[in-house]
Structure 1
Amino acid sequence: MKLHFLAIISLIAFTDLYAQEYYFPDLNANWEQRAAKSFKINDLSLQEAVAFAEANEYSGSRDLRIAILKGFEKEPFHKILGPTKKRGGPAGMILKNGYIVAQWGDTKRVDMTFSVTKSFLSTMAGLAEDEGLITDTKDAVGDYIWDGTFDGAHNSKITWEHLLQQNSAWSGELWGGKDWADRPPSKGGIDDWKLATPKEPGTVMEYNDVRVNVLAYSLTHVWRKPMPLVLKEKIMDKIGASSTWRWFGYDDAWTVIDGLKMKSVTGGGHSGAGIFISAEDMARFGLLFLNNGTWKNERLISDAWIKKATTPSKPNVNYGYMWWLNKKGDRHWEGLSENIYYAAGFGGNFIVIDKENDVVVVTRWLEPSKIGEFMTKVNAAF
């Protein structure tokens, strides 16, 4: 009995020793920094990772209108439909337990973030489910949006989960974009792609911004208010984000709800628009997810939602609810935890959540093909 009691005491002491208490920066306060060695992090290895990020800048033009048009030049009818902004140079932050242990570049500069926006949009769906506006993501979207967007034998099958996992195969046109013209396959003729029978919802992931924007449109009608307002009130103000971030839609993407004209935002920026944000505000968002949806002592996102959002979809083990997952698949970073998940955007924008190391990594304008190597270098420092 005595030995059993001592074992319990030892277990409690061990748990207390390794229990992590996160630091959360206050609004408009200087973000506290800690020396890498205070967390037993190899400072030399950490600086090597930072130097790697600085030396491997995204190769596309800093004039993002040029980079966008070049990057999607094979897409039929592609054009800029919303705001763009010239970008800065490489920048980023590495947080350990919420403290800054490394940073580089201008972390306060506001830049486009492209498909990192999708992880913010996914969170708007999570808040809708948490508040009961959506009963369950497996519900048919047509049960909530009855204006014709989800009419027909095919589109009526689509659920919120299908939209969130990008396997909806929604068929139609929104804000001048045709689903079949968005990111067509590199092989085969356009007519083959255009005239093909839509795939069964839930069976094949297709990265498609028209369908993502259908999700944004649908959530705007469920919330009955613009998505930037929901994000600001429910998340960004509460985590002490700056007043500099913006979430844009296409120039003509207007809808009317309750007699009020509202802008429907985009989930990315490959035709312009999306979220324009600083690295510091991205890091705050990442820290919220590192702490499973709680900021300080206030729960903002349910733990149940984060588990759903980071569960692999059947068609793609590396994709959840608009978060990329480091599972063993086509996008696996070898040698790194399979529990890592991340937001990723055109031009090398990333928010990486590494729960096992209590780490958030934000990196901007890193050559996208170098992210795995960069994260391996970061991991080596721990």
Structure 2
Amino acid sequence: MPDFSEAIAHAQAHEVPWPRDPAADPDRWGVHQADPPPWNRLRGPVHPRGPVSGVIRIGGREVAAWGEPDRADLTYSVAKTYLALLAGLAHARGLLPDPQQPIAQLLPGIGFDDAHNRTITWAHMLEQTSEWQGTCLGMPDTVEHNRRVSHDPKPPQGAKGEPRRLQAPGSYWEYNDVRINQLSLALLHLYRRPLPEVFEEAVLRPLGGGEGFRWEGYDDAWVEVGGLRVQSVPGGSHWGGGVSISARDQARIGQLLLDGGMHAGQRLLPAEWIARMQQPCAIAPFYGWLAWLNRDGAMFADASRESWFLVGAGGHYTWIDPAHQAVVVVRWLDPAHSPGFVSRVARALR
């Protein structure tokens, strides 16, 4: 059995430099401070976090755990990939027949109808090339123009939040949380049910998870769907809210992806959808469908080229490595030290 003690010690020695209680030092918690005012504030709930924690599974079996693996903590943009899973589930149920179809054709009247937005497809939203423009839940897409994120090799064209000239949908890649929230809103209109309820019922509970799971929206993000007042949830915790989940549940989800959507003989997600999530975007080959890829080793040089990652601010990584039948979850790791952690795990796997 591989010895992961060195990797675990490295992670525990390099906790992200955020306070454990956001109320203790709000200026050092989260990523909203980098936004132009008045958007540089939290709009949804946040809560204290635990220590650096993680889980490693090989061949479907847990072989290591550290920190507080059962504690449900915020996981920031790892939640984006959970939206991709909900889109895949909608596809399997016939609610989203064709990812290449413009969203406006299926869901008129929710923000995709104008001349620029009406050609945007589900695939554009999933690969972050939509160039959607507008205001979602009170926030304009321009707040996220020129966003700089780790693992994006493209330099920004201007200052964060400085409006830039939009390109045709599908022709420009940009990491944009407002557009992700617009995707979440579209999925809510597809399901006509709260997305957290669907995710827990269709994914987490069948995996044996869900303890402490929450997926919360902004305080003012309530919309009417089918005559019901429902909260639309964000695909991250950039402005608060988002997914709180345990490391063990994240590892369960990673295992489901590694296994192509099957769990205990039951198909929970379509295999072809999970395979498509791992296909490189034509204009951003480091990215699939709301997931990060390592095809050329640029993300993590020591991880296998088949590896793919769910990544969230604050040092959250779910690493799926088909080459070694491994799922690795680490949380609250200082991102500057993530290559050292990945290298140590990769060495142990080899």
Q: TM-score, normalised by structure 2?
A: 0.92
1:73 to 16, 22, 33: 33
Percent sequence identity is: 37
Do residues 283 (structure 1) and 272 (structure 2) align?
A: no
Are the equivalent residues in 2 in contact too, given 1:93–1:104 (CA < 8 A)?
yes
What residue in structure 1 maps to residue 104 of structure 2?
Answer: 142
- The residue that corresponds to 2:217 in the other structure is 249
Would you say the 8 A contact 1:69–1:79 is kept in 2?
Answer: no
- Quote the Cα distance in structure 1 between the aligned partners of 2:73 and 2:35: 24
Amino acid at match of 1:377: R
- How far off is 1:243 after superposition? 2.9
**SS in structure 1 at match of 2:33:** coil
The one-letter amino acid of 2:32's match is: F
Distance 1:145 1:68, change over 3 A: farther
Q: 2:87 aligns with which of 115, 125, 128?
A: 125
Q: Which residue of 2 aligns with 1:55?
A: 13
Q: Which amino acid aligns with 2:326?
A: V
Alpha carbons of structure 1 residues 158 and 68: separation in structure 2 relative to 1, 3 Å: farther
C-alpha separation in 1, matches of 2:196 and 2:14: 32
> What is aligned with 1:320?
288
C-alpha spacing 1:68/1:298, structure 2 compared with 1 (3 Å): farther
For residues 159 and 27 of structure 2, what CA distance do their matches in structure 1 show? 25
Amino acid at match of 1:234: A
Structure 1 residue 73: deviation in Å? 2.4
Task: Give 3-state SS (helix, strand or coil) of 1:53's partner.
Answer: helix
Distance 2:137 2:270 in 1: 32
Distance 1:98 1:190 in 2: 42
Decide whether the 8 Å contact of 1:56 with 1:367 is kept in 2. yes
Q: Give 1:1-382 correspondences, 5 Å limit.
A: 36=1, 41=2, 43=3, 46-64=4-22, 66=26, 71-76=31-36, 77=38, 78-182=40-144, 184-185=146-147, 188=158, 193-194=162-163, 196-328=164-296, 331-382=298-349
Q: Cα gap change, 1:68/1:309 in structure 2, threshold over 3 Å: closer, same or farther?
A: farther
Show CA shifts across 1:230-257 (max 9, x none): 1011111110103310011111111112
Counterpart in the other structure of 1:27: none
Point out the more displaced range, 110-119 or 95-104.
Answer: 95-104
Equivalent pair of 2:303/2:343 in contact (CA under 8 Å)? yes
Q: Note the C-alpha offset of 1:279.
A: 0.7
Distance of aligned partners of 1:277 and 1:190 in 2 relative to their CA distance in 1, 3 Å threshold: closer
- 1:336, distance to aligned residue in structure 2 (A): 2.4
Separation (CA, whole Å) in 2 of partners of 1:131 and 1:89: 39
Contact 1:75/1:184 (<8 A) preserved: no
Residues 294, 272 of structure 1: CA spacing in aligned structure 2 closer, same or farther, 3 A cutoff? same
Give the Cα separation in 2 of the matches to 1:243 and 1:88.
16
Of residues 203-212 and 60-69 in structure 1, the stretch that sits farther from structure 2 once superposed is 60-69
For residues 72 and 148 of structure 1, do their structure 2 counterparts lie closer, same or farther at Cα, with a shift above 3 Å needed?
Answer: closer
- After TM superposition, which residue ranges in structure 1, 4 or more long, deviate above 6 angstroms? none
1:198 CA displacement: 1.4
Amino acid at match of 1:321: W
CA spacing shift, 1:188–1:297, aligned 2, 3 Å: closer
CA contact under 8 A between 1:288 and 1:294: conserved in structure 2?
A: yes
Q: Is the 8 A contact 1:68 1:271 kept in 2?
A: no
Residue 379 of structure 1 and its aligned partner are, at CA, apart by 1.2
More helix by percentage: 1
Classify the secondary structure of the residue corresponding to 1:237: helix
Secondary structure of the 2:327 match is: strand
Kept in 1: contact 2:81–2:310 (CA 8 A) = yes
Q: Which whole-Å CA distance do the structure 1 matches of 2:102 and 2:31 have between them?
A: 34
Distance 1:101 1:148, change over 3 A: closer
Larger Rg: 1 or 2? 1
Deviation at 1:67, TM superposition (A): 5.6
Deviations 1:212-247 (A, max 9, x none): 000000000011111011101111111010331001
CA contact (8 A) 2:110 2:186 kept: no
Cα 1:323–1:70 shift into 2, 3 Å: closer
Counterpart residue number, 2:153: none
Q: Which 5+ residue runs of structure 1 have no aligned equivalent? A: 1-35
- Aligned positions, number: 337
Distance 1:371 1:67, change over 3 A: farther
